[in-house]
Amino acid sequence: MKFKTTPYHHDLLKDTDRLSVFYEAIEEYNSDCGLAYDLGCGSGILSYFLNEKFDEVVSLEIENKAFQCAEENLSDFKNVQVINSNVLDYEFSKEADLIVCEMLDTALIDEEEIPVLNYAKKFLKRDGKIIPQGIINTVQMVNMERHHVHWDEDATYETLSDEISYSEFDFLDEISPEFKAQIKLKSNKDSTVNGLKITTYTKLNDNIIAGPLPMLNPPLMIPLDEKHVNVNDFIVVEIKYIMGEGIESIESRYL
């Protein structure tokens, strides 16, 4: 099937690894039909995967051009309803068996995955599921060339510590968008630390965890003041941000 897309969603479709992990997670979902919500459906590719497993699929997309693409792409499927709406404004009338929400980005800072799920999962059945199931965030100290918040695509940096997990979320839980953590890192070389590298791993289900992909959660570089470290030195840092409020909400400092 040839999909009509916006330029952005064309790039998403080109990331075949991203599509594959979502397709596998949807295929592994043990469905007795029922209802699925696809929140932020874009051009409708995940709704296309869902339509064969569910009696009813409700697909919401706020951006008008993407909505028009999805409406056209899914027009042959009578069990799929495409709606041009902000999820947070939509009045859900039924409880779903499954929610699919791919409003993902690194540490969930820039996209509205958490605010959207905190609202929408009120309309999920007691035994309902969410795809993806959650995320795992890791951090490393780095020496980086650019001294501002940026993604690591085409960025120059040197990692100075092992990668450690600093937070993990299950999307079925109630999650506060306001995040703060104190993190202790051990230097593995003599150098100057001036930043943190945040990497997010997406847990699609119990069997599938996806690392960063071209269009799914590229690592994020966060600046710190310059500090000389020797091998085996420890630093303690605090990072704060508001999930869904954008990279402008990020604060980082030494403790």
Q: How far apart are CA 195 and CA 201, in angstroms?
A: 20
**Under a CB-based contact definition with an 8 Å cutoff, are residues 45 and 57 in contact?**
no
> What was the pLDDT predicted at 132?
97
Q: Measured between alpha carbons, how far is 71 from 64 in angstroms, rounded to an integer?
A: 10
| Structure confidence at residue 3 (pLDDT) | 75
Give me the domains of the chain, ranges plus CATH numbers.
7-102 (3.40.50.150), 134-254 (2.70.160.11)
Q: What is the pLDDT along the chain (255 residues), one digit of tens a residue?
A: 677 887 766 666 777 888 899 999 999 998 878 999 999 999 999 999 999 999 999 999 999 999 999 999 999 999 999 999 999 999 999 999 999 999 999 999 999 999 999 999 999 999 999 999 999 999 999 999 999 999 998 899 999 999 999 999 999 999 999 999 999 999 999 999 999 999 999 999 999 999 888 777 889 999 999 999 999 999 999 999 999 999 999 999 999
Question: In this structure, is the dihedral angle defined by the CA atoms of residues 39, 43, 246 and 90, taken in order, positive or negative?
Answer: negative
Alpha carbon distance 93, 96 (integer Å): 10
Q: Please state, in angstroms and rounded to a whole number, the distance separating the CA atoms of residues 252 and 255.
A: 10
Return the structure tokens found at 182.
Answer: 């104190």
Q: Are 167 and 179 in contact (CB under 8 A)?
A: yes
- Element containing residue 226 per DSSP (H, E): strand 220-229
